[in-house]
Amino acid sequence: MSMQYQARNGLTDKEARYTLTPTGIDWQAGEKSGSLAFDAITSLRLIDYVSPNGTAYQCTIKSHGHKPLKFRSQHYVSLGAFEDRRTGYSAFVRALLHRLEHRNDIRFIAGSTGLWIMWLSVGLIYLGVALVLVLVILEEVASINLSGIPAIIIAIVAVPLVWRSVRKGRAKRFDPRDPPASLLGAA
């Protein structure tokens, strides 16, 4: 039994259709098509990230001799317009993991250390800017200058996003028989 998932990752991409076969993944995007044997897969990474439509989920598959296959839970429709395809994405990724669960030579990775470092850096910069703003406002409290209030409001709103992303931590390995539900997008 084959399973399919279809999505367009972004403006410059064609809509791609991925099909699980007994031996691998077939894909077609516009005029281009290909096949990736399960035996060639070296790693599978699941991540989530903030997008204009909320949280988006992404699966990246690396292999010997092929460009990485990357598909997302959000389908790009047009500039600024995305369609949520989490249900199909989640079912497809779960079926893929089920077919790969016996492979001990594949690195199953949850999260991204690069994204974590980026959010940690943003958090540190944010703290530095917040400290400067507080010092400036405390210095100007006597003259009742309210020019820094909008910046403080923006800073307070950004705290949960930065903290959530930093708290998730770096990339970790996971068992394909028990994938992290938080990175699959649907139950």
pLDDT at residue number 74: 87
What string of pLDDT tens digits covers the 187 residues of the chain? 679 999 988 888 888 999 999 999 999 998 999 999 999 999 999 988 877 777 889 999 999 888 899 999 988 888 878 888 999 999 999 999 999 998 889 999 887 656 556 656 666 676 677 667 676 666 655 455 555 566 666 666 666 655 555 555 566 877 888 888 888 876 5
- For residue 33, what are the contacts with CB-CB under 8 A and spacing of at least 6? 26, 27
Enter the DSSP assignment of 29.
E
Residues 82 and 16 reside in one and the same domain:
yes
Residues 85 and 175 reside in one and the same domain:
yes
Residues 41 and 130 reside in one and the same domain:
no
Q: What is the pTM of this model?
A: 0.71
Say whether 17 sits in a helix, a strand or coil.
Answer: strand
- Domain with 48 in it: 3-111+171-183
Strand order in the sheet with 32-37: 3-7, 16-20, 24-29, 32-37
pLDDT at residue number 11: 82
Residues 87 and 178 reside in one and the same domain:
yes
Q: Where are the alpha helices (DSSP H) in 15-140?
A: 86-100, 113-140
Residues 84 and 20 reside in one and the same domain:
yes
Q: How many domains does the chain have?
A: 2
> For position 69, which CATH number holds?
2.30.29.30
Residues 50 and 97 reside in one and the same domain:
yes
Residues 58 and 105 reside in one and the same domain:
yes
Residues 175 and 130 reside in one and the same domain:
no
Say whether 113 sits in a helix, a strand or coil.
Answer: helix
Residues 81 and 25 reside in one and the same domain:
yes
Residues 140 and 101 reside in one and the same domain:
no
pLDDT at residue number 79: 83
| Strands, E assignment, the chain | 3-7, 16-20, 24-29, 32-37, 41-51, 54-63, 69-72, 74-78, 81-84, 107-110, 172-173
Residues 67 and 107 reside in one and the same domain:
yes
Write down the residue that tokens 């990357």 correspond to.
70
pLDDT at residue number 162: 56
